[in-house]
Amino acid sequence: MAKREFTREQLEVMGVPYSWDAEPGKAAEILHTEQIDSRRWVSIHEVVFRAPDDGRVWSVGYQEGLTEVQEDTDLWFDDDTVTADQMEAVEVTVTEWRKVAG
């Protein structure tokens, strides 16, 4: 699996995970965001984005505080660099069960 190290500054310039923070003309394309876990004081999320510099799709995890007093929660788990996994789109068929009408 391909990996890439991003600095905090690179992600901030690209607006990952919050696209409104991106520097003009340098924004990543946010493709998917999902909460993947919840802990006592933080929720853990995954964001999938297309990096503007290499055009590849990457995924990183980040955390958000669950209350307004969690202001000191570090988005990137106090790491200096963030390891991203390269992603690819895969079509998946899902079967749903529904009540019979009538």
- What are the tens digits of pLDDT across the range 59-95? 999 999 888 776 667 899 889 999 999 999 999 999 9
The domains of the chain are located at 3-86
Percentage of the chain modeled with pLDDT above 70: 97
Check if the beta carbon of residue 55 is closer than 8 Å to that of residue 28.
no
Q: Residue 42's Cα: distance from chain center in Å? A: 15
| pLDDT at 19 exceeding the cut of 90 | no
Q: What's the whole-model pTM score?
A: 0.85
Give me the chain's average pLDDT, please: 93
C-alpha to C-alpha distance for 57 and 50, rounded to whole angstroms: 4
Q: Which of 33-37, 41-45, 71-75 comes out lowest in average pLDDT? A: 71-75
